[in-house]
């Protein structure tokens, strides 16, 4: 979900009281969870956006991986999906066919069945999916629940917003940033299954609000959730994974995604950044991520095991920080 003024409107929905509603709109989580039986809860989410990359097949793959991500972030297993399509009149329909093919191939990889969808004519292409997943009602992982002493683990490197902007402006070619494209296409399925097995306290996926934006949501949600604790998050910049190309691009060009600035302004008074954090690193910490990884808050004694299991499954993961007790207000500290 986006985090601009529009998203703020959508956050303020009427309060719903329903004993089966496990996660509703009041959480800044990107999926809703509703208990059907003692063993099964349904997870609902949707995501769609304009092409961030020229190749339609690749865009379809990335869009699907991104739409499924909110189910994985909650520890769920996606089962069904429906297309959301906006397409200009008169534009070559083979472009749409390629987008759908990329998406369907990704859904197949995830074991998800495409059951339909809806399309409209629009000035600009937009594509995404609504996704339905399943999770055990007792095993829902939300962005609330981080506890003092937890270690913070991040999967996937940061910086795809800067990279896709440079691609769009013709500053780089897709073959220069194949690694970033591969990461955007990668499902968060293995990370999700592994964190379910290990047992973690909180998780969120890193998308449009940038690394620090989603981290802040975790900090705030954990202070207001079902069992609130006063916490703040501390990150070690040395352990933050960035795409080298993103660092290079952000150094060279002033033409960054606009969202970096709006994310930075929105979070301004909540972030403490050590002087040793370079301006390039700081920019990337606010960079909007398309189909980013998972930020996981895991009890310290299980953190090593989580990392080992992720590495064994060939998931790129880093231990990037920890959760501390903090009384007054949630902050994010980035130190060296
Ligand atoms: Co989302
Ligand atoms: Co999300
Ligand atoms: Co319809």
SS3 assignment, position 177? helix
- Give residue 276 CA to ligand 1 midpoint distance, Å: 32
For the entire predicted model, the pTM comes to 0.94
The band of 4, judged by pLDDT with boundaries at 50, 70 and 90, is low
More confident: 84 or 16: 84
**301: enclosing H helix or E strand:** helix 300-312
- In degrees, to the nearest 5, what angle opens at C-alpha 25 toward C-alphas 24 and 31? 70
Q: Which ligand approaches the C-alpha of residue 116 most closely?
A: 3
- Give residue 294 CA to ligand 2 midpoint distance, Å: 9
- Give residue 216 CA to ligand 1 midpoint distance, Å: 16
- Give residue 336 CA to ligand 1 midpoint distance, Å: 30
- Give residue 120 CA to ligand 3 midpoint distance, Å: 9
- Give residue 139 CA to ligand 1 midpoint distance, Å: 20
pLDDT tens-place string over residues 237-248: 999 999 999 999
Residue 1 has pLDDT above 50, yes or no: no
Share of the chain above pLDDT 70, in %: 96
Q: Going from the N-terminus, what domains does the chain have, and what CATH number goes with each?
A: 5-139 (3.30.1330.10), 151-335 (3.90.650.10)
Mean pLDDT score across all residues of the chain: 93
Q: Are 91 and 121 in contact (CB under 8 A)?
A: no
Q: Which ligand approaches the C-alpha of residue 118 most closely?
A: 3
Question: Out of 69-73, 161-165, 226-230, 258-262, which region has the weakest mean confidence (pLDDT)?
Answer: 226-230
**What are the two backbone dihedrals, phi and then psi, of residue 69, each rounded to the nearest 5 degrees?**
-60, -35
């Amino acid at each position: 979900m986006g985090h601009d003024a529009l998203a703020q409107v959508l956050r303020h929905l009427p309060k719903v009281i329903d004993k089966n509603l496990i996660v509703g709109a009041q959480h800044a989580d990107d999926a809703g969870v509703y208990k059907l039986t003692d063993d099964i809860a349904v997870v609902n989410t949707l995501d769609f956006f304009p092409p961030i990359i020229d190749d339609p097949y690749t865009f379809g793959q990335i869009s699907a991986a991104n739409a499924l991500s909110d189910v994985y972030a909650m520890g769920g297993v996606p089962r069904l999906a429906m297309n959301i399509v906006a397409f200009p009149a008169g534009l070559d329909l083979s472009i749409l066919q390629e987008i759908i093919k990329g998406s369907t191939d990704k859904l197949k990889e995830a074991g998800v069945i495409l059951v339909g969808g809806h399309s409209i004519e629009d000035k600009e292409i937009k594509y995404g999916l609504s996704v339905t997943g399943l999770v055990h009602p007792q095993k829902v992982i939300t962005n609330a629940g981080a506890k003092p002493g937890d270690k913070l683990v991040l999967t996937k490197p940061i910086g795809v917003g800067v990279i896709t902007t440079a691609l769009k402006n013709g500053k780089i070619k897709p073959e220069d940033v194949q690694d970033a494209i591969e990461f955007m296409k990668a499902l968060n399925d293995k990370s999700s299954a592994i964190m379910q097995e290990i047992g973690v306290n909180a998780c969120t996926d890193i998308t449009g609000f940038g690394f620090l934006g989603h981290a802040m949501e975790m900090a705030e949600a954990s202070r207001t959730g079902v069992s609130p604790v006063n916490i703040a998050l501390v990150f070690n910049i040395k352990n933050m994974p960035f795409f080298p190309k993103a660092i290079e691009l952000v150094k060279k060009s002033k033409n960054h995604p606009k969202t970096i600035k709006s994310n930075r302004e929105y979070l301004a008074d909540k972030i403490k950044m050590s002087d040793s954090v370079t301006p390039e690193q700081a920019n990337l910490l606010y960079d909007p991520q398309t189909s980013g990884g998972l930020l996981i808050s895991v009890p310290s004694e299980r953190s090593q095991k989580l990392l080992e299991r992720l590495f064994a499954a060939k998931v790129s993961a880093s231990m990037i920080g920890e959760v501390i007790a903090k009384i007054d207000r949630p902050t994010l500290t980035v130190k060296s």
